[in-house]
A and B are shown apart, each in its own frame.
Chain A
Amino acid sequence: MQNQNKLILEVQNLETVYHGVMRVLRGMSLKVPEGGVVALLGPNGAGKTTALRSITGLLDIHEGKITKGKINFFGEDISKVSAHIRVWRGMGQVMEGRRIFPELTVSENLQSGAFGVGRKTMLDRMEAAYERFPRLKERKDQEAGYLSGGEQQMLALSRTLMSNPKLLVLDEPSLGLAPNIVSQVKELIREIHKEGVSILLVEQNAAMAMELADYVYILETGKIVRDGTPEELREDEDIQEFYLGIGGEKRTSYREVKHYRRRKRWLS
């Protein structure tokens, strides 16, 4: 396990239920150290988005509930704190699919990320966002719905940064973007990290996540089944086969590829 002294986020034995019956997380735990980049990987339906919703406080509006466990943010249990207050305490998130406000202009989108921030600070941060992405400045009075996918991702990120988060929670930032933009996003995450922001990254794109992260958790059917540094996990045959797509054995013909041929070791 990781041994950093200060944790910005610590999830302990989290269990969640949707609509009172559907259990999604079954005792998930993870830690994000201050200044760390932690990735949460897993297949579709493993509960990654649910985990993020529990962390950011958006579970209840999806009729979900935390039935067990704790979420400590800066050492304080926040599992009962409402979502907007978590943002004010320094937790920023970029939701899956970017979710910009299409009929608001670019600058209004940025403003919406700075509720409760003083006017001058907001303008400074807006200027910083424009400096980072001159494209946004060019289009600041245009409706954001007309931006390209990559530009929308930049806008979503900048909008979240307007609240000056200490922990940035990213849900699938590479989803649906062209490869060159994905690498741009990757650079950007690195840059934000260098500025001192801790990052929790959820990705299906395991290769990208492994490159960025300094610690990786693998979530399957609601539980953490493996965790370790990217180096450790890269050595693992199962991880190679099921997440990185570089088969353990040599394959000559795809007809022989049967994904159920070998059981993952952790599914005993």
Chain B
Amino acid sequence: MINFLELTTSGLALGSIYALIALGFVVIYRGSQIFNFAQGEFLTWGAFGMIALLDAGLPWELALLGTMLCTGLLGSVVERVALRPLIGRPVFVTIIVTIFIGSILHALAMVVWGSDPKGMPTPWEAMKALKIGEVSIWWNSLAAVIAGAVALGAFFIMIRYTRLGVAMRATASDQETALALGIPVGRIFGTTWFLAGAYAALAGVLLSMFPRNADMHLSFVALRAFPAVIVGGLESIGGTVVAGLLLGVLEVWAQGYVNPALGEFGQNFHTVFPYIVMIGFLIVRPYGLFGSQDVERV
């Protein structure tokens, strides 16, 4: 039972991170029908940007905001320079361009920061844990859950109640009409990339805290958030969050219960587990948990 609770909380922490990453995929996809395969590199840049800012002497909280801001700006620059000129081109063109940009960002990160893993400093002791009875929860997990909740909550308030949010949803619904109504659609695309970058940076920082490190493999985690996007229904922001949390928990459960049961074979079974869930969904419910259902007058 204790084991179960501990696994569940660290699953929720991982799930919050997946949700943050998947949200980035979804806002960009809804805005401009681009699937951003460079998303993972934003994780790396966010994490190493954080370490760089801390080295420069910024306090932890400011460094976190700073790296989110910088990575967000990196996202909008990528959009403006590489993807804006491709508006209206077939989907595969944009996909290949994002893969290409991903490689460039990856190589650049290696040049700037090298390929050695670095520990992510935290304001609290890395292994500090909260004890509730027998159950101990790492502060780092708690921080991930709380930061994820705050960031996602802020996003929902923004998209639901602010005028920028309305403009973003209008653009997602019908680009041409949005443009015809005076919404600067290009700028909205830039904003979606900014958000994707900033949230990826947050996810990157949370992810590279103990027990992991900040290293060049961080970007692969974005691909592990990919099933959350599919299971959530690709266009549904709420669905993505639910699916992200769900898959995070399922993955850690798999790690805790299924891996040992499989013996030798099961060493890294948990990493493929989200994909198995995704394939299951693609077979049974290809539009995901909350896939978009068009509202139509009967």
Chain A residues in the interface with B (C-beta under 8 A): 56-58, 61, 63, 83-84, 87-88, 93, 95, 99, 101-104, 108-109, 111-116, 119, 122, 143, 145-149, 159-160, 163
**Which A residue's beta carbon lies closest to that of B88?**
A61
**Given A61-B88, A108-B166, A115-B167 in contact, is the A102-B180 Cβ separation under 8 Å?**
no
**Given A101-B174, A112-B167 in contact, is the A159-B88 Cβ separation under 8 Å?**
no
> How far is A73 from B259 in the complex, measured between Cα atoms in Å?
69
Let me know if A112 and B181 touch, CB within 8 A.
Answer: yes
Let me know if B169 and A148 touch, CB within 8 A.
Answer: no
Let me know if A115 and B184 touch, CB within 8 A.
Answer: yes
Residues of A within 8 A of B166 (CB): 104, 108, 111-112
Give 5 A-B contacts (CB < 8 Å), ordered by A residue.
A58-B176, A103-B169, A112-B167, A146-B297, A147-B297
> How far is A250 from B66 in the complex, measured between Cα atoms in Å?
81
Let me know if A61 and B183 touch, CB within 8 A.
Answer: no
> How far is A159 from B167 in the complex, measured between Cα atoms in Å?
13
Let me know if B179 and A99 touch, CB within 8 A.
Answer: no
Let me know if B185 and A84 touch, CB within 8 A.
Answer: yes
**Which B residue's beta carbon lies closest to that of A56?**
B180
**Given A101-B170, A111-B166 in contact, is the A93-B297 Cβ separation under 8 Å?**
no
Let me know if B182 and A143 touch, CB within 8 A.
Answer: no
Let me know if B88 and A104 touch, CB within 8 A.
Answer: no
Residues of B within 8 A of A103 (CB): 169, 173, 294-295
**Which B residue's beta carbon lies closest to that of A97?**
B177
Give the Cβ gap from A168 to chain B, nearest Cβ, in Å: 12
A84 CB contact (under 8 Å) in B87, B173, B174, B182: B182
How does the 8 Å CB contact mask read for B153-179 relative to A, with 1 for contact and 0 for none?
000000000010011011001111111
Residues of A within 8 A of B178 (CB): 112
Give the Cβ gap from B158 to chain A, nearest Cβ, in Å: 14
Let me know if A104 and B181 touch, CB within 8 A.
Answer: no
Residues of B within 8 A of A58 (CB): 176, 179-180
**Which B residue's beta carbon lies closest to that of A148?**
B297
Let me know if B182 and A87 touch, CB within 8 A.
Answer: yes
Let me know if A84 and B297 touch, CB within 8 A.
Answer: no
Let me know if B87 and A61 touch, CB within 8 A.
Answer: yes
**Given A61-B88, A99-B174 in contact, is the A113-B182 Cβ separation under 8 Å?**
yes
Does B116 have its Cβ within 8 Å of any Cβ on chain A? no
Does B55 have its Cβ within 8 Å of any Cβ on chain A? no
B181 CB contact (under 8 Å) in A87, A108, A149: A87
Residues of B within 8 A of A145 (CB): 294-297
> How far is A229 from B177 in the complex, measured between Cα atoms in Å?
32
Please give me the 7 A-B residue pairs with the lowest Cβ-Cβ distance, nearest first.
A87-B182, A145-B295, A112-B170, A101-B173, A99-B177, A102-B295, A83-B179
Let me know if A143 and B174 touch, CB within 8 A.
Answer: no
- On chain B, the number of residues with a Cβ less than 8 Å from chain A's Cβ atoms is 24
Residues of B within 8 A of A102 (CB): 173, 294-296
> How far is A149 from B184 in the complex, measured between Cα atoms in Å?
28
**Which A residue's beta carbon lies closest to that of B170?**
A112
> How far is A57 from B183 in the complex, measured between Cα atoms in Å?
13
Give the Cβ gap from B196 to chain A, nearest Cβ, in Å: 22
Give the Cβ gap from A197 to chain B, nearest Cβ, in Å: 16
Residues of B within 8 A of A56 (CB): 180
Residues of B within 8 A of A147 (CB): 297
> How far is A180 from B224 in the complex, measured between Cα atoms in Å?
57
**Which B residue's beta carbon lies closest to that of A98?**
B177
Let me know if A108 and B169 touch, CB within 8 A.
Answer: yes
Residues of A within 8 A of B179 (CB): 57-58, 61, 83-84
Let me know if A104 and B169 touch, CB within 8 A.
Answer: yes
Residues of A within 8 A of B182 (CB): 84, 87-88, 113, 115-116, 163
> How far is A58 from B185 in the complex, measured between Cα atoms in Å?
12
> How far is A103 from B180 in the complex, measured between Cα atoms in Å?
18
Give the Cβ gap from A57 to chain B, nearest Cβ, in Å: 8
Residues of B within 8 A of A114 (CB): 163
Residue in B167, B177, B295 whose Cβ sees the most chain A Cβ within 10 Å: B177
Give the Cβ gap from B272 to chain A, nearest Cβ, in Å: 35
What 4 new A-B contacts, CB under 8 Å, besides A87-B182, A115-B183, A160-B181? Answer: A58-B180, A112-B181, A113-B182, A146-B297
**Which B residue's beta carbon lies closest to that of A91?**
B182
**Which B residue's beta carbon lies closest to that of A109?**
B170
> How far is A194 from B182 in the complex, measured between Cα atoms in Å?
24
Residues of B within 8 A of A57 (CB): 179
> How far is A145 from B173 in the complex, measured between Cα atoms in Å?
12
Residue in B87, B88, B177, B182 whose Cβ sees the most chain A Cβ within 10 Å: B182
> How far is A149 from B296 in the complex, measured between Cα atoms in Å?
11
**Which B residue's beta carbon lies closest to that of A160?**
B181
> How far is A108 from B175 in the complex, measured between Cα atoms in Å?
16
**Which A residue's beta carbon lies closest to that of B292?**
A103
> How far is A82 from B178 in the complex, measured between Cα atoms in Å?
13
Let me know if A87 and B170 touch, CB within 8 A.
Answer: no
> How far is A119 from B297 in the complex, measured between Cα atoms in Å?
31
